[in-house]
Amino acid sequence: MAAGQHLVVGNGEEFVRLRAEAFNIGTGVQTSDQQVYDTIAEATGYPEPPIYGEERKGDVKHSALDWSKAKRVLGWEPRYTFAQGVAKTVEYNREQLGL
């Protein structure tokens, strides 16, 4: 999660060079679907449990992004945990909506 973080990439020439590259932007910490749901539900105060469908071949059960390329090429590294990023995102959106 890159909540609250913005990447600014130099001049236009540098942007053209980098736009064909892919970068993982995340915490580097493995996170399950249930952990994502629980974190968002807690941050928003949503009380209902998740509803899961049948497992399908190829479903991703856990995800952990390796951000070392972003660090090497862009000098980027995560500043927040996943939970902190979600909380900051919810807070920002509530402020924007006047909630």
Averaged pLDDT of the chain: 82
Q: How far apart are CA 84 and CA 47, in angstroms?
A: 20
Report the pLDDT averaged over residues 53-58: 91
Q: What is the pTM of this model?
A: 0.69
- Tell me the domain boundaries of the chain: 25-97
Which tokens is 29 given? 């910490």
Domain 25-97's class?
alpha beta
Res 98 pLDDT > 60: yes
The more confidently predicted of residues 76 and 51 is 51
**C-alpha dihedral, 26 to 32 to 38 to 43, nearest 10°:** 0
